[in-house]
Amino acid sequence: MQQQTFPSKVWFITGAARGIGLSLARQLLAQGDAVVATSRTQDSLRQAFGGDSERLLTLEVDLVNEASVQKAIQSTIEVFGRIDFVVNNAGYGQQGTIEALTDSELRRNFDVNVFAPLHVLRQALPHMRAQRSGHIFNVASIVGFQGGYSGWGSYVASKFALAGLTETLAAELAELNIRATVVYPGPVRTGFLSKETLVVAERKISDYTEAQASLDLHLNGLDGKQPGNPDKVASLILKAANDDEPPVHLFVGKIANALADQKMQAVSKDLDVWRSASDATDFDK
């Protein structure tokens, strides 16, 4: 595929073979933008999109391997000449209590959910910086803002890390005319909770009954019944991308909004109750 000149925008999307990433890619192609869609396997991309076209480049990428990411970004520039939007959408859920999770289980979760997006950013940002334009969307989860869920500590921590990273990015990139947004979806019907996608810790500790109840609820009660519509989530991301003043924090869905409100109220209460004692820890003037 030879480099083309596009009046439209160029999007680089990870985890594009299903869920939010797939919905977003399809909407972008429909409106005339160029899309680089990545996934772990070319077969999954072929099933999702059929094949490449003038405005679609599908790439099998191992996001945990920075050399693979670097090659993908280079291919993007060679074919489309620029990158206007990066959507770090790939990730997976790791269930298990903090005590039960092994070091390897935790590290693998962070490799995919945190360090892989960092690989993408390190490779994409030099091109955006040269352009003095661009927009980063890091897809976290509402649990990256409100994390009080027994048995989900690894996933929660990884999404909190991605959210904090995005806040810093927004501050660092502002002078370069590059935007950064963290997306906090609530439960979205994407197959995220299927037994083929969700990873459960090998070790279980029977004393943690709340964690087991949460796992059972998510696998047996919520999988396939989540209220979030991936097509509408993608449309909201597009709306933010086209806004003159896009948000740094983009909450998605009624559940996400309600949980965010609960978190802010709880933090405000703690802040108010402990304010005097907290203020008193400073040096006396």
The residues annotated as belonging to the active site are 155
CA angle 69, 74, 76 (to 5 degrees): 95
Alpha helix (H) residue ranges in the chain: 19-30, 42-49, 66-80, 103-110, 116-131, 153-173, 209-216, 230-241, 254-279
Q: What are the tokens at 23?
A: 């919905």
134 close to 180: Cβ distance less than 8 angstroms: no
In angstroms, the CA 136 to CA 123 distance is 13
**Rounded to 5, what percent of the chain is helix, strand, coil?**
50, 15, 35
Q: Which residue in this structure is represented by tokens 């927004």?
A: 170
CA angle 167, 170, 171 (to 5 degrees): 90
Residue-wise DSSP of 214-244:
HHHIIIIIITTT-SB-HHHHHHHHHHHHT-S
CA 117 to chain centre: 8
- CA distances to 1, 30, 73, 92, 208 from 77, rounded to whole Å, are 12, 22, 6, 28, 49
In angstroms, the CA 214 to CA 217 distance is 5
In angstroms, the CA 189 to CA 43 distance is 22
